[in-house]
Amino acid sequence: MEYVWLKDKIVPRQEAFIHFDDRGYYFGDGIYEVIQVYNGQPFLFHEHFERFLRSAQELDMSLPFSINEIKENTRLLLQKNEINNGYAYIQMTRGEQVRDHLYSRDICPVITAFTKEAEVPADKQKSGISLWAAEDIRWLRCDIKTINLLGNVLAKRKAEDNHCEEALQHRGHTVTEGSSTNIFMVKKGVIYTHPANHLILNGITRQNVVNLAKNERFPVYEEAFSLEEIMDADEIFVTSTTLEIVPVVNIKGSIEISLQPGTVTRKLQQAFKEQTSA
């Protein structure tokens, strides 16, 4: 039987129902995290919950339980569902309230979570993916991990419609990030990725990969780069919790280029694998 977490209980999935007036449903008024699990162990667990807490604070949301209770319940759900390799999805909406733009501070946030057994995509990690480059139309607080993901889902659909697996979003000429990934460029042995500001989500994998790259003595610049600069990149790769590190072999749309997975990408993939199989 599959269990999910709803409010203050872990219940069988078929018994979990969401209230009609949940603000997540009306306004996309909520936050979330996705945490990968390797050999039964959640990876970068505390880092994900630090970001969860930050997202809540930025949106003036309080937690219905302590962060330690939320972590414990997530572990419990993973155990109950016997997840070995896969992920946990945890979401918190502001709560239930008759539709009103003005949110009340007296409602209780609603936490829901599910888990999934899933392998990381070894084929994509090996062969690479294509990106569809298009204007980033999202709001200006992309640093908050909100469930309000309309710009992201439209970018993903557009990518798929153009036979690409992921989007490359850009604001004017500046490359920001994917629809659900961060983007890295390698040029002459130097690694570049957009700085962690309000224009991107500061990926937990992004932060981990920056640290791995520094350990491998690669110079890393958290600096914005342009579409023109990415045109003559030596390597490009994307990162996320569920993809880890995936090379990019084509970009289409606003720009058109083809590349091969390179040695820096392979080195970082290897370092990442060592870390998660330890």
- Active-site residue numbers? 145
* Shorter beta-carbon distance to ligand PDD: residue 111 or 245: 245
Distance CA 138, CA 166 (A): 16
Q: Which amino acid is at 238?
A: V
CB of 8 to ligand PDD, least distance (A): 25
CB of 245 to ligand PDD, least distance (A): 10
Binding positions for ligand PDD, rule: CB under 6 A: 34, 152, 177, 180-182, 201, 203-206, 239-242
End-to-end Cα separation, the chain, in angstroms = 30
Which phi and psi angles does 118 have, rounded to 5°?
-160, 140
* Shorter beta-carbon distance to ligand PDD: residue 97 or 136: 136
Which phi and psi angles does 111 have, rounded to 5°?
-100, 135
How many helices (DSSP H) and strands (DSSP E) are in the chain? 8, 15
* Shorter beta-carbon distance to ligand PDD: residue 103 or 276: 276
CB of 100 to ligand PDD, least distance (A): 28
CB of 206 to ligand PDD, least distance (A): 6
- Are the beta carbons of 142 and 199 closer than 8 angstroms? yes
Give one word for 274, left, alpha or beta, with left for phi > 0 and alpha for psi -120 to 50: alpha
Distance CA 78, CA 74 (A): 6
* Shorter beta-carbon distance to ligand PDD: residue 44 or 259: 44
Joined together, the tokens standing for residue 164 give 């690409």
Residue nearest to ligand PDD (CB): 203
